[in-house]
Amino acid sequence: MPVTVTGRSARFDGVCTVEEALPLLEFLRNSVDPEVDLSSCTWLHTALVQLLLIAVPQMAALPADPVLARWVTPVLTPATTAAVGQNRNFDG
């Protein structure tokens, strides 16, 4: 499973498709103070981005994947945009 739930924490692994939307919604609805770990996520489907934007869970770890770090991280954590905006060596 690309999204594994352990207690109040959900861990995203590799390619996370629209299939994960229902389980993720379930998790976000039922957890108190949910937390997500995107560190090893390499693809985040729009539906999942949308859910994370609605629920605004704690970010336990931001994506390590350079493309996600450049484009997903600023969307999910608007406050840190400026800091992350400096890191952009992926598109060579």
Partner 1 sequence: MPTLLERFIPEAREHLETAATGLLKLEQNPSDELLVNEVFRAVHTLKGASGLFDVPGLTRLVHAGEDLLDAVRSSLITFTPDIVDALLDALDRVSSWVDALERQGRLPDDADGVSVEFANRLRAWLPNVDVTPAADTQAAPVPLDWLAELPEADRTEAFAEIVAGGAPLFAISYTPDEGCFYRGEDPFNLFPQLPGLRALRVFFREPPATLSETDPFHCGLAFRALVAQPRVEIEHLFRYVIEQVAIAAVAPEALIIPAGPADGEAADPEFLEDARRLLTARDYPGLRTAIEAWRGMSAGRAWPLSISHWLDAVLAAPLPNATWALALLDCLATGLVQPIGPPATTEISAPAVVTASGTALDLTPEKPMAARILAEQRRIIAMAEAAGPPARRVAAVEATVSHLLASLGWSLRAGELASAAAEAARGVPARLLGLITVLENRVEAAVASPAPIPPSATALLAAAADQPAPAEGTQHARVLKVDQAKVDTLMNLIAELVVTKNGLPFLARRAEEVHGSRDMGREIKAQYAVIDHLAQEMQRAIMDVRMLPVSDVFERFPRLVRDLARRLNKRIELKIVGEETAADKTIIEALGDPLLHLVRNAIDHGIESPEQRLAAGKPEAATIQLKAFQERDQVVIEVSDDGSGIDPMAVRLRAFEKGMIAEDKVDVLSDQEAINLIFLPGFSTSEEISDLSGRGVGLDVVRAAVEKFSGQLMLSSHKGEGTLVRLSLPLSMAVARVMLVEIGDALFGVPMDGVAETVRVPRSRIHRVKRSEAFILRDAVVPLFRMHTLLGVPRDEVEVDEEAVLVARIGGGLAGVIVDRLREGIDVILKPLEGVLAGIRGYSGSALLGDGRVLLILNLKELL
Residues near partner 1 (CB under 8 A) are 18, 21-22, 24-25, 28-29, 43-47, 49-51, 53-55, 67-68, 70-71, 74-75, 81-82, 85-86, 91
Give strand pairing partners of 76. Answer: none
Query: Minimum distance between the CB of residue 36 and partner 1, rounded to whole angstroms?
Result: 14
Taking the least distance from each CB to partner 1, the nearer of 19 and 60 is 19
Residue closer to partner 1 by CB (options 43, 60) is 43
Structure tokens, 86: 């400096």
Dihedrals phi, psi of 12, to nearest 5 degrees: -100, 130
What residues contact 75, with CB distance under 8 A and at least 6 apart? 49, 53
Nearest residue (CB) to partner 1, 4 versus 78: 78
Q: Are residues 75 and 51 in contact, defined by beta-carbon separation less than 8 angstroms?
A: no
